[in-house]
């Protein structure tokens, strides 16, 4: 009985460590800006998909929630921090919907069963990513008003970069899935 208890504790520590590593990857990916047209891109949405595929939906969601909690508590893990503020003030700003969309995207990316059909896999990841933008535009519309061009401000400039990241994730699915045996 003691062995089972200690095994469960080791598993919990392992999952906490994996979630922490995932949240660090998200933080790093939010800070690196890659020149891209029409706006610079970060690899953050790619890392959200990567975490879902590699960790599965349960640990993936826990990882993203940990990342969001780190940011809400004031750690400079979000893209515009610390320059544009920290903590709850930054979190509830224009990007909150996108950040909350990470939870749905990582859930969907982790829940899907991927096969060797590249088109199906691409569509599954595109659907997962679309929730980031759906939540983002809903929050943005609420924040700045629905009379503004929400799609043009909140999604259109990022679509080309997103298609590129989804394509990379699609091509790498079989390699990323190999990480699940360690999780």
pTM of the predicted model as reported, rounded to 2 decimal places = 0.92
Going by pLDDT thresholds of 50, 70 and 90, the confidence category of residue 180 is confident
pLDDT at 39 over 90: no
Q: Phi and psi dihedrals of 43, rounded to 5?
A: -100, 20
Q: What pLDDT does 37 receive?
A: 66
Domain with 126, as residue range(s), is 2-182
In this structure, what is the dihedral angle of CA atoms 142, 107, 26, 59, given to the nearest 10 degrees? 140
| Segment 12-30, tens digit of pLDDT | 999 999 999 999 999 999 9
pLDDT at 104 over 80: yes
% the chain with pLDDT above 90: 78
Going by pLDDT thresholds of 50, 70 and 90, the confidence category of residue 38 is low
Give the mean pLDDT of 107-131: 95
pLDDT at 67 over 80: yes
Tokens representing residue 3 in the block: 């062995």
In whole angstroms, what is the distance from residue 174 CA to residue 76 CA?
33
Q: Which residues contact 151 (CB under 8 A, 6 or more apart)?
A: 137
| Segment 43-55, tens digit of pLDDT | 999 999 999 999 9
Tokens representing residue 148 in the block: 């503004």
In whole angstroms, what is the distance from residue 56 CA to residue 76 CA?
26
Mean of pLDDT over the chain: 92
Q: Biggest alpha carbon distance in the chain?
A: 63
Give the mean pLDDT of 3-18: 81
Number of structural domains the chain divides into: 1
Domain CATH number, residue 158: 1.10.1760.20
| Segment 71-98, tens digit of pLDDT | 999 999 999 888 888 999 999 999 999 9
Give the mean pLDDT of 39-66: 94
User: Rounded to the nearest 5 degrees, what angle is found at the Cα of 161, between the Cα atoms of 18 and 98?
Assistant: 60
């Amino acid at each position: 009985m003691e062995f089972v208890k200690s095994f469960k504790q080791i598993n919990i520590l392992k999952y906490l460590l994996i979630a922490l590593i995932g949240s660090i990857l998200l933080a790093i990916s939010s800070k690196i800006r890659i020149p891209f047209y029409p706006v610079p891109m970060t690899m953050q949405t790619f890392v959200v998909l990567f975490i879902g595929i590699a960790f599965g939906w349960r640990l993936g969601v826990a990882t993203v929630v940990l990342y969001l909690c780190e940011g809400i508590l004031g750690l400079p893990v979000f893209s515009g921090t610390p320059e544009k503020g920290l903590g709850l003030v930054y979190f509830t700003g224009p990007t909150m919907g996108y950040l909350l969309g990470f939870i749905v995207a990582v859930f969907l990316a982790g829940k899907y069963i991927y096969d060797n059909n590249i088109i199906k896999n691409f569509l599954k990841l595109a659907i997962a990513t679309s929730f980031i933008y759906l939540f983002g535009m809903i929050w943005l519309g609420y924040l700045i008003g629905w009379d503004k061009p929400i799609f043009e401000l909140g999604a259109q400039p990022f679509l080309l970069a997103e298609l590129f990241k989804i394509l990379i994730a699609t091509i790498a699915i079989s390699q990323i899935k190999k990480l699940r045996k360690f999780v």
